Amino acid sequence: MDRIPIKRVLISVSDKTGLAELAKELTAAGAEMFSTGGTRKFLADHGFQSREVADYTAFPEMMHGRVKTLHPKIFGGILCRRDHPEDLAACREQGIELVDLVVVNLYPFEQTIARGGVTPSEAIENIDIGGPSLVRAAAKNHAFTAIATEPGQYQAVVDELRAGGTTLELRKKLAAAAFTHTARYDAAIATWFGGYTEPEAHFPPAMFLALARKSELRYGENPHQKGAVYVAPSCSGVSVLTAEQLHGKELSYNNLLDLDSALTVVRSFSEPAASVIKHNNPCGVATGSTLSEAVRKALDGDPQSAFGGVLAFNKSVDRGTAEVLAAPGLFIEAIVAPSFEPAALEILTTKPKWKANVRLLAVGSLDAPPAPLACRPLEGGMLVQEADVFPDPEREWKVATQKRPSDVLMADLRFGWSVVRHVKSNAIVLAKATSLIGCGAGQMSRVDSVEIAIQKAGERAKGSILASDAFFPFADSIHKAAAAGLAAVIQPGGSVRDEEVIAAANEHGIPMIFTGRRHFKH
């Protein structure tokens, strides 16, 4: 049976958005509505008649609403297979009326536990029982019964109601969405219970990924690979996945990776900051008194690599910053920032040669805390760790050498240490005047990363600082740094050869700080 007329509807919702409009259409079509509790009161307050479920089942609502729809006369009407004579006979025998549409959304469990100070009893009371059962029953019997679980689906139901009834195609789509809805709901409950039963554990005993496909991409990392992007429905923090795209072509797989990394870098700074990402590594990072100064310094860090890069800012992009970006000879793939001032948006979308193609993303305020966990898929499973977003207390830093760094060098050491945690290991960063001027990333040998960073910096290496994400296993990197004229080093320390490394720094008169904390990024 393809098109099923909507003659009878069961409605029980916690979110009343759009319900009055839906009820108006159902009433106009002559559909009979069954409802309970707060839903029935809402309908009555808006002038719509609905039949009390308890009157129909002859079984009272009880236990403060815990038991109201869990009855064979309700579930029989939803689950009846209309092409099975024995099902229809059972309904006639028991006085069960067929239900053509179920409109149900669930108790707000996720919103409840997201509030601060929620007690276990409050959380548990917001675990819906009858709602998921109704949803699953209607979804299972989608051959005959339609299920709407969120207000965004109402218009599609109304359109088909006006055409004479729901089609099998729509009912299948709604059923798939319904099972996704209950799966996510159960996953949130199971995850919460993990913390409830093991409050001392850092990680829950089980993790459930509830991700909704946002869009299919043109391709993955390479043209021969298909790709898609998924987002957590509960995601409300700062993310390129929830940003508003103001301009430009469709975002690619690689754009999203780079934009995410670029945004992570600039969130490390309170002063105006800009980052330039190429192939998921910073090739330019800088801070300045203004955003335009910061981006100019960032682009000068490695101009060759910056061509075709992805940029991020931690402040609203203003006219001055846009003018720097629109300079001739520069090509930018995408830009993410909290917002874009109207004058900046006008410049970026009309002035440069690449104006039609550049992707501009407004991500909103960066005040929200970063995600607490970092997840990485493996074949057959996943690694989970606390995200490396903790501040490194400077009071724990130690000057390991005879010579102490000057105040000017300390500013660059702080900057370099903030940047190096975002570079792939083995990571080496050279910085001067709070700007990245050389980067060695992802090398199998730390000394290779040092050589690459020095080569990238060229003559600018003299007087710069070197930051290393992990300790130096040998003194050879210090000798190379001294030969290039580097002025100071910051690293975690902790090598069995620390004394040799310290001795090399003392030999060359290079002050060196041990932070006591490693920042691998594989």
What's the pLDDT band for 187 if we cut at 50, 70, 90? confident
Give residue-wise pLDDT tens across range 283-295: 999 999 999 999 9
Of 77-91, 192-206, 342-356, 444-458, least confident by mean pLDDT is 192-206
Beta pairing, strands 436-440 & 244-247: unpaired
| Fold match, 8-197 / 396-514 | no
What 3-state class would DSSP assign to 37? Answer: helix
Candidates 16, 73, 140, 479; catalytic one: 140
Sequence ranges of the domains in the chain: 8-197, 238-362, 396-514
Share of the chain above pLDDT 90, in %: 71
Give residue-wise pLDDT tens across range 318-351: 999 999 999 998 999 999 999 999 999 999 999 9
Does the pLDDT of residue 250 top 80, yes or no?
yes
Of 25-34, 51-60, 322-331, 439-448, least confident by mean pLDDT is 51-60
Write down the CATH number for the domain with range 238-362: 3.40.140.20
Write down the CATH number for the domain with range 396-514: 3.40.140.20
Does the pLDDT of residue 52 top 90, yes or no?
no
pLDDT of amino acid 188: 85
Q: Can 247 be counted among the known catalytic residues?
A: no
- Dihedral class, residue 164 (left if φ above 0, else alpha if ψ from -120 to 50, else beta): left
- Quote the CA–CA distance of 274 and 415 in Å, as a whole number: 13
Across the beta sheet with 428-431, the strand order is: 398-399, 512-514, 488-491, 465-468, 428-431, 436-440
Does the pLDDT of residue 96 top 80, yes or no?
yes
**At 507, phi and psi to the nearest 5?**
-60, -40
pLDDT of amino acid 370: 83
Q: Can 140 be counted among the known catalytic residues?
A: yes
Compute the CA torsion angle 165, 169, 170, 173 (nearest 10 deg): 160
- Quote the CA–CA distance of 310 and 325 in Å, as a whole number: 12
What's the pLDDT band for 273 if we cut at 50, 70, 90? very high
Q: DSSP readout, 248-263?
A: SSPPPHHHHHHHHHHH
Does the pLDDT of residue 167 top 70, yes or no?
yes
Give residue-wise pLDDT tens across range 434-458: 999 999 999 999 999 999 999 999 9
pLDDT of amino acid 390: 86
Does the pLDDT of residue 1 top 70, yes or no?
no
Q: How much is the average pLDDT of 261-266?
A: 96
Give residue-wise pLDDT tens across range 460-479: 999 999 999 999 999 999 99
What's the pLDDT band for 114 if we cut at 50, 70, 90? confident
Does the pLDDT of residue 236 top 70, yes or no?
no
What's the pTM? 0.80
pLDDT of amino acid 276: 97
What's the pLDDT band for 171 if we cut at 50, 70, 90? very high
Write down the CATH number for the domain with range 8-197: 3.40.50.1380
pLDDT of amino acid 259: 96
- Quote the CA–CA distance of 473 and 37 in Å, as a whole number: 69
354 or 114, which is more confident: 354
| Number of Cβ atoms within 10 Å of the Cβ of 446 | 23
Residue reference for tokens 């995850």: 191
pLDDT of amino acid 364: 93
117 burial via Cβ count (<10 Å: 0-12, 13-18, 19+): exposed
First to last CA, the chain: 55
Candidates 279, 355, 403, 508; catalytic one: 279
pLDDT of amino acid 65: 64
Q: How much is the average pLDDT of 512-518?
A: 97
Does the pLDDT of residue 95 top 90, yes or no?
no
What's the pLDDT band for 123 if we cut at 50, 70, 90? confident
What's the pLDDT band for 152 if we cut at 50, 70, 90? very high
Of 70, 91, 93, 77, nearest in space to 141 by CA: 77
